[in-house]
Every structure is written in structure tokens, then in C-alpha cells.
Amino acid sequence: MEQVSFNTHHSAFGAYSSFILGKIGKGGGFVLNNVKPVENNIYIGYKREGQDLSILPFFLEKKTDTNEVFGLSDGKKYKTKEKLLKPFEEKEISRELKFASDTWRAGDIEFKIITPFWEVADPHKIKAEELRFSILPAIFAKVTLNNSSSDIKAKVFFGMDGMGRLISEATQQKLLGGAIDRRIAFACSKENGIVEHIGWNLLDNIVSGQNEKNRLGNEVLLTLEVPAHTIRTFTLVFATFQDGMITSGHDTRFAYTSCFRNIEDVLEFALDNKAYYLSLADKRDAELQESGLNKYRRFLIAQAAHSYLANTQLMLDNEAKPVWVVNEGEYQMMNTFDLTVDHIFWEMRYHPWTVKNVLDLFVERYSYTDKVIDINGRQYPGGVSFAHDMGFANMFSNSGSSVYERKDTTGCFSYMTYEQLLNWILCASVYAFKNNDFEWLKKRKHTMIECFDSLAARDLNNDGIMDADSIKCGSGYEITTYDSLDESLGRSRNNLYIAVKTWAALVCLENVFSKLKLAEYWLRSQDRAILLVNTLSGYFIEDQNFIPAIFENGNSSRIIPAIEGLVYPYIIKDYNAISSVGRYGKLIKMLKLHMQEVLKSGVCIDDVSGGWKLSSTSNNTWMSKIFLNQYISENVLNIHLPLESEKWDKVHAIWQANFSELCAVDQINSENGKDLGSRLYPRLVTSILWMDVK
Amino acid sequence: MEQVSFNTHHSAFGAYSSFILGKIGKGGGFVLNNVKPVENNIYIGYKREGQDLSILPFFLEKKTDTNEVFGLSDGKKYKTKEKLLKPFEEKEISRELKFASDTWRAGDIEFKIITPFWEVADPHKIKAEELRFSILPAIFAKVTLNNSSSDIKAKVFFGMDGMGRLISEATQQKLLGGAIDRRIAFACSKENGIVEHIGWNLLDNIVSGQNEKNRLGNEVLLTLEVPAHTIRTFTLVFATFQDGMITSGHDTRFAYTSCFRNIEDVLEFALDNKAYYLSLADKRDAELQESGLNKYRRFLIAQAAHSYLANTQLMLDNEAKPVWVVNEGEYQMMNTFDLTVDHIFWEMRYHPWTVKNVLDLFVERYSYTDKVIDINGRQYPGGVSFAHDMGFANMFSNSGSSVYERKDTTGCFSYMTYEQLLNWILCASVYAFKNNDFEWLKKRKHTMIECFDSLAARDLNNDGIMDADSIKCGSGYEITTYDSLDESLGRSRNNLYIAVKTWAALVCLENVFSKLKLAEYWLRSQDRAILLVNTLSGYFIEDQNFIPAIFENGNSSRIIPAIEGLVYPYIIKDYNAISSVGRYGKLIKMLKLHMQEVLKSGVCIDDVSGGWKLSSTSNNTWMSKIFLNQYISENVLNIHLPLESEKWDKVHAIWQANFSELCAVDQINSENGKDLGSRLYPRLVTSILWMDVK
């Protein structure tokens, strides 16, 4: 990727905090309990004696003279920035975003942010010291100046505003760095040649060579002397720490508070073990670099991984039991279930126990039982389902309720009862089979049966396909996760995407009930799946090779997510179910034809941009789902279009890099790549599937 | 006061949080760990059926359509504000700021914020249940609609943005209101006719009469039905709650967390006991209203009281011992000692134990011993003194260090060694004598002796007046609290203000050593005081009736704070010391002549504005010190100028009201009333002395 100027989240696992950097001219810095970019000044650069100060362009012009704030009408004027500052121009900078690192190079400086991640064990199952290794709320950075071809000694520096104290003073001079109260800090080990600065205009210190410590300062900066003809590096830790109970509705605190005393404890531990963590990051980087994926996909995976981690939050409740939350980007909804179902591919790879954790919380606290109504308003028994989410912005909602869903609504914000029911079945099946946790499956036998019954109850005409809405909708109707697309994907009832996802849930249930030795339910699941496939066959328009998105009102939208459901049988390795010569061969063949048909310019390939659009009748397209369906198309349906594929990837990658201030964005306009919603989003991590090719 | 549009802090004791409101068109809302105004929308108004919506003008035009954020290109447009909203104009609103309340009236609505305060006992000396009464982190508000002359039923409402959940859901429907996570909330008791709303554009609900609960909303609003021909009121509680360790450098948490579980606990307790708290506020209001002070002074006291409370922070350390902090307005420095000495008049009235608490912390953690140097750079033994402050913005600084002071400085930010030494002596004496705590005085005998010795060590030529700077200044010199004024007040050495304050400290020490039966030190204190008075007499310019501000370089500035020191002997009731026929009669007579001389237009009365200026040679004047010196002039020196006095008060009150967005401001330009610094400041509470007239 050639693009340089875009923001990326840099985050520790489960800390719901980020160091955001990348948009040129915009600053960056830490954000807590959110994922929105902040605009603190970040100072990264160097100065050779007698030369101008070279600096990466991550700061803003200061608007206030702090001396004036203190009533000093004759306050010193700080002229450094205007006179002696040479920020690198965009064209002078190269940037390389990898799986667990992000590196900028300009002139003789290299700045690398390192965000190691790893397979995280269930905190309940490991010892305290292991836990410290496992849920460290810190990331790393390296600042390197290559002064090897210079005869002049230099200073290289890293600093930022939004700080207020020196780390040396809290660590008996063991570490050097800056912090703001107890919550945010950066530090390095004390080494020869590294000096701490605190003040209001620290670039002046670099220029003047002075170091008067102004402890009222809002900036902290570290400088390292680099002799002529040498290369020197210093390694930083960035940490965040939030004490006390954090969430309302359900009392939880950050899990790391159980194994770290305070932020200094985090910094010291991180620096003591930096070799360990940096090697983990190198390993991650190598995995992606050596994946054989093209550079666009590597970029998309890397940016998505960063955004996902930024949204993660590992908490402990009053009984010290883990509570896992993934927050929904700019919307901040907690454990939005139709995101969870997309995150499981990542989570099964790195921390499958979080999937179980969320599924249990959905059962125990965020499930409900409803009635259903047909289009004439007649009521019927319904069954169990699950809330859309568990709250937002550190506020757990009441039992059984999401913050998203409202009655009497016909678009966004209506209930997703049926789809969340599918999501529980699919996530639970994937978790149990991928993780071989059949103990848990047995424990959840009752829920599995309830879920099957609930599915059946919502198909009044017994054709396999959902046709009754939850009574919770009032005068509205149920929607799908694709709520903000057009009607071709937005509505649940008689919906192709939902139908195939239902089939997938039934296939999963077949496997579940077989494993649980519940022969009757196994058979009933299979019967319903067959019924559904037959019904779908009836909707297949042979001469045009597609199934319409909605089986009502003469709808003729072509949609890509018709194939989305195929991923689940594939993941749980029921290869027969997804084989064109298997028991559902008819469906697989139909969907392959459908997919080949829609992957055409002017249908689901945007004829302006050349990127994927999920529905032929909407320009609102979602990156996370594009990635997922690309994976399915290639690996489940074996549609191999290598030339087209790389072109598509390039369009998608450029879109992402162009969001510049918004990190990873999900909802975009397929014509022009404009962001339409779901900014700063975790869901794009569906792209991790690309690394799972057998 | 006729002014309506200015911000005021509304704060609970010790919670370092405010609800800020008052500037028209600017919004308001809660701020935590700071005192800076926030700009949330505050909705206070009413609507009669079929009529427009009348609302107080405390909100901003919304810049984003929340539906667009969710990718809804066809999102509903919210037109309420443009079409049906009638904000009251400034001229239609009356406002009455009292000691413990702030009331707006417009049309038929009255909105009153009630901030009760009281004599707070030492948390160490009372029981848990008493403690809850004593350090409740909550304030109150009343919303009243007078619909008595209308035939049409109405709804009256209060609401705000920056919220995210309903209080009913966390209190089993006992209370109604809004909150954001665990930290900020408002609520009322559940009563007939009161309805909770949550959403993005709740004024629409008022207009439409609907109440669809949108739990993703950022606004919460309460409506109360008011039948025709009735008056109805609902009482709100505003609470804040911050859990966990808050400060760095010295681990402390909010004291209220020891007796309240969470914010709902605070809300319930406050509403259960609202009669008690509201009667306390009424009592405070009555005290000020019935004080006999003119309306300008009443306004100045009320505004100052609000700002002071906003800056207070009562914490507990790891051993559950109280740690008292007053923060320094916009600068956020903690327990700035030269503010403490001005706050003691308030604190001795309402919570004298906090004075002791701070003095002890200064001795135990923020004292140091230095050497001194003369103007030729020769070094001499120094003695004990105290740091300027204890840190800033929830960050305690290292032992013995302030965040403010730096070496090699010749103006602001230099050391205040000598003045802080005076401040400890003065505060300790006032505390011990006013509170009759001679046990404590005995415990601090050693410190008292050290302080006297330290004073003496800084007077190298033995004329009673400080003439040697602390070696900590490096190449700079010591400054006074009046650092940002001109040299007439800024420098410590040979400084009239400091000299008289030294005399006051010596008189206090006379009293202290007499009480402690340390005859030798008592005599030495008196000897030095006499010496000092004799020296000062030598500087008195008889034909011009004044003493120059600085006894060097031919300085001829006239300064008001020459008399500042007189307040301390007066407060500890050593009336002989401040009598013109007492043992220091010579000084008192001189200072009275000086004061009468400077209180002239063109000298220390600004010839443009007619307000007080502290120095004849500076337009930077400080309100807190004006109030203090007005008190001394009238009550200690018995300079009674009733006609002039009320004119001066009017100028000063108008200045304060004109700061509009900045609540109470200390440093201003005496010509035009422009704010120069020290905004949102606690120090103006010196005005409480006006209520202490015997």
C-alpha cells in the first residue's frame, strides 16, 4: 500500500483503550473507553547539532500561549515551530502497517508501534503470574535514529501532550517517561543518554538544548543522544490503567486490575518482558507476511486487526468472573450479537473462551421468550431469542433488553429476534465443534432444543423460511443486521440471506443433536433443512440464474450475502453439507450459479468503482461482509477469479486507506468509497478467514 | 444584580465536580475533576397543548443528525427546533443568585438550582451514617410551572444531553432520571405525572406527545403534567460518583466512596433527605440575604461560594485518613498554599479541620529545608519552608516539591519560599486560636520554633525584613503570590506587602509562643516585630503619606496589600496589636494614612473604571485580594467610606458578572474588567469575611 496518511488504532487486548496515530497533520494520542481519534500533539523526530529540527507531521498548530493563560502579558514567545521546525512532507514518508506493527520511515528516523497479540487463555484457568503475561494493558514502540552516515551528533525524541507528570518520579528513577494521573502513560527503561523533559513547548528544549523541568507542563518528551556514525533505538511502553468499577447495570472492573497494582506496575512488567512481547509481535507479522496473500489483503487484515483489538474489553464481575465485551466502534454497543457472529472467526483463533463467555451471558441475562404474529396480526407461540446487544458505552442494559431495538419500527432500530436466534445457534455450534468443548454443549442442550423449537415456531407456513415477526416489533417488522441497506437485505421475513443462514443453523443443529445423541431433533433439523432447500429451489429463477433477495412483492434484487450461511457448515467441517454432490447439493449448485451471476459489473460489482456491492439495488456496502463472502466464494464455492480478485482487493484496500481519520470503516458507498456508517469498527476482522485457507 | 447571562458552578462539597449553567446560548452540564464549562444541551421549559414550546436558552444548535451517523441516508429530519421552539430572550429572564441557590424565572417557569452547604465535621470523628449526611456528593434543583392562570394543561420538563441510561432501570422504578455510566446522574422521586424520556432529539417528544424510548439516546428528559389552574414542582438531585483510586503520587479515592456504594445510593439518600438539605440551603440563603450587605457584595459572595465549592475535593488515603484538597481553578494546582491562606476565612467558618489537615500535609510531605543567598551570592543557613502547592490535576507531586516552582526564574514560576513560610505560620495560628485547638498547637510546637528560626535566618541585616533568597531560586529571586503583577508586588525581597505580612506572622508567633509558654521565643518574636515596625517607619514618606512597595531602586509604587497582614492579628483577636494606641500603634497609624492616600482615583482607584487596583503601577488587579483588603480597610483600619464603597462594589460585581463563561475570575484588568488569569477560581471566597463583621 502506498497510502501513508490514515489513522490506525494501536491497542492492548481487552483494555478498551487505543493509541491512535497516522493521519498527517492531525495529531493523535490515547483514548479511553472509546475508539474515537484524539488530537494531541505527538512529537517524533530528531535534530542534529546546528541543523533544523526534523519531525513527523503528527501535531497541530498550538492555539493558546500557555503563558498568557497565567496572566503573563509579557510572556516569552515561543518561536521554535515557526522558525526551526521542518515537518516531513507526506511524500518523504513511507509507512508499513503489518499484523502487529505499524512503521513510519522518513529521513533517518524510524518509528514503529508494536501491538503484540497472542492466544489468550481463559483468566479463570491460569495462575496470577501467567495472567499478568496474558492480559497486560500495554503496547510498545521503537524509535530509531540512523546517524551512521553523519559526522554530527544528534538527538532523537518522542513526546506528546495530554501528559502531566514524569514517570521517573513514580518509579525511583527506574523508568523514564510521562503520564497523566493514574490512567495513561508512556515510558522506557532508564539508559544512558535518555533524558526526560516536561513543559509546555518542549520542542524549544530540543532546539535550545536546555532542560528546565516545568512540572505544570502538559507535554512530556524523551530525548536520546545519538553520537555520530551510530544507530540508536529506544523502546517505549504505552500503557493505560483504569481503576474501580467501570460499568453500570452490571458491576464490572477491568480484569487487569486483578493482577496489576497500578500503571507503573504495568510499565515495569512490560519493560521487564519486552523481549517476550516483541518476539510475539514479530511472529504475528511474519505469519501475515508469509501468508501468500496479496498486499491489499494483508493491509486489510492488519487494519482490521488493529480496530478489533481497540474495541475489546475484558472485565471481571463482583465474583471475579470474566465478562467479555467487544464494543461496536463509533456506536459503542456492547457485544452486538450480529457482530459477535462475525468476530468468532478471529476469536476462535485467539481466544475461543470469549465466545463461550458471551454466549453464556446471552443465555443468562440477554435472552427472552416472545410470541410471534403473522402479517394479519394473528398471534402464535414464539420461543427463545436474544437481545441485539448488551448495552452501550460501559452501560449494561437491563436483562433481556438491548439498547438498539424498539417497537413500532420498520427499518433500523427494529427487533432482530430471528437473526439473533440464528446467531446464537451458529456461534454456539462453531464454538463447540472448533474447540471440541462438548462438555459445554451438553450443558447447553436445553438451550439448543429451545432454539430449534423457536426457529420452527417462526415458520408458520412450514416451508423452512421465517415468515412471522416477533410481537415485540409492534406495528413494525423484524430486520436483519443489514438494517441500513435497502429492503433487499433489511427485512427478515421471506428473506434470502436469512433463509440460507437458517439452513446453516439447521445444518449446525443436525451436527449438534447428532453429537448430543438427540435423534429426534437431529432428524427434525435435517427435515427442516431439506424443506427449506426445496422452498428456495422454487424461488430460483432458472433463466436468470439467481434467487431474489425477498420472496415477496416481486422483488428482484440480487444479493451477495445469499451465500453467507455457507461458511458455518464449512467451519464445523460438515463438508458433505456444502458439497455440490452432498445432501444439500441442490442448494450449493444454485448458490454457485447465483454467485457467478451477481459477480458482474452493474450487478454486484459497482460499475463505477469496480468494488463489491452487497446488493444490486443499494450503493451502501459493508466491508466486513465483503471479506466474509469473498472467503466463502473462493473457499466454499470454489469460484476462483484470481485476476478479478486482486483488482477487487485493491479497490477495497484503497477505500479503507482513504478513510484516513476513521481507522477501519464498515459501511461505505460502493460508488465513491465515502464512509456511510460503522466507523472505527471491529467487524472487519472477518478478513482473518483469509489466513485460514487449508 | 441585573445581569442574567453568566456561568456559575453548582457543586457538592468535596466532590471536585460541578453542574455549570448560566451563559445564555452556551449550554451547560457536568464537569468532573475540573471546573471548566462544558457545552451540553440543557433543556428546561414547558409546553401548553396547542402552543409553542417555551424553553430557557441553555442549548446549542445540534451539528449532527444522529440518524446520519447510523448510515440512514433517508433518516427522519427533526424539525422541532426550527419550527416550534421559542427560547426565551435574555430580557424575558430574571435571575437571582443567592448563597446556596440560583434561580431563573421566565414566562411561567421557575428553575432553581440548590447547593446546600453546612458545617462539615471531620470525617474521622463521626459515624458512618452521619458521614453520609455530611459528604453527600449531590446537589438539588427544582422545576416549577405556574399554570394557575391558564385554562390549558401543560407539560414542564427538565433534560440534558451527555446522558445514556435511565435511572428507573437501576432503582426498580423508585426514581426517575438519567445517567451516564456510573459517574453522573440526575433524578427525582417517582411521582404521578412524571415521565422519563431517552433519545436523540427529545424536544420532539414534547411536541409530538410520544414517548418511544430510544436507549441508544444521548439525552434524558423528565416531563411533568401540569393541569390547568395548578402550580406544580418537581425536585431533582444531581449527583456525581467516581470510583477507585483517583490521584497519582499519593493514592487517594473520594471520601464519599467510603459511605456510598454507587451513584444510585447517592440519589436515593439525597431524595430521602431532601427536606433536610433544602432547609440547609434556605438557611444559608437567609443568612446572606439578611446580612445587611449591599446587593453587589451579596452577589460577589454568592458567586465566590459557588466557585470555591467547585474546587473542593475530599479524599481518603490508603489508611482511610482524610486528605483535603482545594484545586486552583483553571490551573488545577492542588492546595496552592498562597490560596489556602485566603481560603481559611471560609474554612474556619465551615470546616476548620481541613485547615489542620492541609497544614499537617505541608509539614509531613511538602516541607523542605534550604540555604539562603544574599545579593552577592554568598550562602547562609536557611531553614524550613513549604512548597507552593502539592501537585495538579489529581497528580500529587513528589515530597517537598511543588509543580509551580522552578529555579533560575525571575518572575512567575520562581520559588515562594519566604511567603509560604509566612502562610504556614499564619494559617496555623488562625486555626489554633479560632478553633481553640491547643492540643494540635502543642503537637506542632517544634514546627513553630523552626518557622520562627527560618524567618530570622532570611533577614541577614537584621532589620526585620526578608532580604535573602532561597538557594532554590538559582540565578532567580523569590516571588510572592502576586507573581503576575508588576515588580511592585511580585518580588519578595525588601517588599512592603511581605514586610507587613511578616509582622503579622511575628504577632501570631508572639501569641503562639505565649500560649506554649515558650518565653524566650515569645520575646524574640516581639523584638523582631518591633524591629520590623521601626524599619518600616524609616521607609514611610511622610510628606506623601505612603510606604513604597519595594525598598530598593527608588521604587515608588503605591500598593493596597500593604495592609493585608493586618487581618491575622485581628482574626486571632490580638486587638492590641492592631490598635493605633497599641504596642504597634506606629505601624497601624502609618498604614491607615497609607491606605487613605492610595484610595484615590489615579492611585489605587482606577481612573477609568472606578474599581480597585492593587498597585498604582499595574492594571492587573485581583478580586480576592480586593475583597480581603476592603474588609481590612473597613474593619481593622476603620476607614468608612459608605458612598464610595457601594460604588466600588458595583464596579467589582459588574466585572464578575461580565466574565459570563468563566464563573468567578480573580485576575482582571482594572481598566476594562477583562479577565487576565485565574479563571474559575476558588480564592474569591475571601469575601466571606464581609459576613463576619462583629
Give the model confidence (pLDDT) of A22-50 as tens digits: 999 999 999 999 999 999 999 999 999 99
The pLDDT of A80-109, averaged and rounded, is 89
Instruction: Compute the nearest-CA separation of B569 from chain A (Å).
Output: 32
Q: What is the pLDDT of residues A454-464, one digit of tens each?
A: 999 999 999 99
Give the best residue of A66, A68, A70 to mutate against chain B (max B CB count within 10 A): A70
Nearest chain B Cα to A172, which residue? B398
Instruction: Compute the nearest-CA separation of B431 from chain A (Å).
Output: 30
Looking at beta carbons, which residues of chain B come within 8 Å of A164?
392-393, 395
Contact flag A243-B242 (C-beta cutoff 8 Å): no
Instruction: Compute the nearest-CA separation of A212 from chain B (Å).
Output: 8
Contact flag B676-A69 (C-beta cutoff 8 Å): no
Nearest to B71 among A169, A406, A678 (CB): A678
Instruction: Compute the nearest-CA separation of B170 from chain A (Å).
Output: 7
Contact flag B398-A169 (C-beta cutoff 8 Å): yes
Instruction: Compute the nearest-CA separation of B239 from chain A (Å).
Output: 15
* Size (chain A), residues: 694
Give the best residue of A163, A182, A614 to mutate against chain B (max B CB count within 10 A): A182
Contact flag A248-B181 (C-beta cutoff 8 Å): yes
Contact flag B245-A182 (C-beta cutoff 8 Å): yes
Looking at residue A103, its pLDDT comes to 98
Rounded to the nearest integer, the mean pLDDT of chain A is 94
Interface ipTM: 0.94
Q: Are A592 and A580 in contact (CB under 8 A)?
A: yes
Instruction: Compute the nearest-CA separation of A35 from chain B (Å).
Output: 15
Instruction: Compute the nearest-CA separation of B228 from chain A (Å).
Output: 32
Looking at residue A273, its pLDDT comes to 98
Q: Are A260 and A137 in contact (CB under 8 A)?
A: yes
Nearest to B484 among A71, A164, A215 (CB): A71
Task: Please name the helix (run of DSSP H) or strand (run of DSSP E) that holds residue A624, with its range, or none.
Answer: helix A623-635
Nearest to A398 among B169, B212, B262 (CB): B169
The pLDDT of A642-668, averaged and rounded, is 94
The pLDDT of A637-666, averaged and rounded, is 94
Looking at residue A76, its pLDDT comes to 40
Nearest chain B Cα to A403, which residue? B215
Grid cell for residue A298: 494483508
Looking at residue B65, its pLDDT comes to 56
Looking at residue A67, its pLDDT comes to 58
Question: How sure is the predictor about A66, in pLDDT bands with cuts at 50, 70 and 90?
Answer: low
Nearest chain B Cα to A75, which residue? B412
DSSP for residue A52: P
Nearest to B179 among A169, A181, A248 (CB): A248
Q: Are A129 and A18 in contact (CB under 8 A)?
A: no
A84 three-state secondary structure: helix
Contact flag A242-B244 (C-beta cutoff 8 Å): yes
Higher pLDDT, A85 or B626: B626
Contact flag B169-A249 (C-beta cutoff 8 Å): yes
Grid cell for residue A372: 410471534
Handedness of CA A221, A227, A231, A234 (dihedral sign): negative
Give the best residue of A215, A241, A250, A409 to mutate against chain B (max B CB count within 10 A): A215
Q: What is the pLDDT of residues A421-456, one digit of tens each?
A: 999 999 999 999 999 999 999 999 999 999 999 999
User: By C-alpha distance, which of A258, A297, A17 is closest to A131?
Assistant: A258
Looking at residue B606, its pLDDT comes to 97
Contact flag B246-A181 (C-beta cutoff 8 Å): yes
User: By C-alpha distance, which of B466, B378, B391 is closest to B422?
Assistant: B466
Give the best residue of A34, A246, A248 to mutate against chain B (max B CB count within 10 A): A248
Helices (H), A458-566: 487-490, 496-515, 519-539
Mean pLDDT per block of 10 residues along chain B (694 residues) reads 93 98 96 97 95 93 59 44 78 97 98 98 90 97 98 97 96 97 98 94 88 92 97 98 98 97 98 98 98 97 98 97 98 98 98 98 98 95 98 97 94 94 98 97 98 98 96 94 81 94 98 98 98 97 96 91 98 98 98 97 96 95 98 97 95 92 95 95 98 73
- In whole angstroms, how far apart are CA B29 and each of B37, B203, B662, B679? 8, 17, 14, 18
Looking at residue B611, its pLDDT comes to 97
pLDDT of A79 strictly over 60: no
Contact flag B393-A249 (C-beta cutoff 8 Å): no
Looking at residue A411, its pLDDT comes to 84
Nearest chain B Cα to A676, which residue? B71
Looking at beta carbons, which residues of chain A come within 8 Å of B246?
181-182, 243
Nearest chain B Cα to A199, which residue? B403
Long-range contacts of B370-373 (CB under 8 A, 24+ apart): B370/B417, B370/B470, B370/B471, B370/B472, B371/B470, B371/B471, B372/B457, B372/B458, B372/B460, B372/B468, B372/B469, B372/B470, B372/B471, B373/B468, B373/B469, B373/B470, B373/B471, B373/B473
Contact flag B406-A214 (C-beta cutoff 8 Å): yes
The angle subtended at Cα A465 by Cα A461 and Cα A468, nearest 5°, is 65
User: By C-alpha distance, which of B592, B369, B375 is closest to B466?
Assistant: B375
Give the best residue of B33, B65, B70 to mutate against chain A (max A CB count within 10 A): B70
Contact flag B394-A69 (C-beta cutoff 8 Å): no
Looking at residue B60, its pLDDT comes to 86
Instruction: Compute the nearest-CA separation of B215 from chain A (Å).
Output: 5
Instruction: Compute the nearest-CA separation of B334 from chain A (Å).
Output: 11
A-B CB pairs within 8 A amount to 149
Q: What is the pLDDT of residues A125-175, one digit of tens each?
A: 998 889 999 999 999 999 999 999 999 999 999 999 999 999 999 999 999
Contact flag B403-A333 (C-beta cutoff 8 Å): no
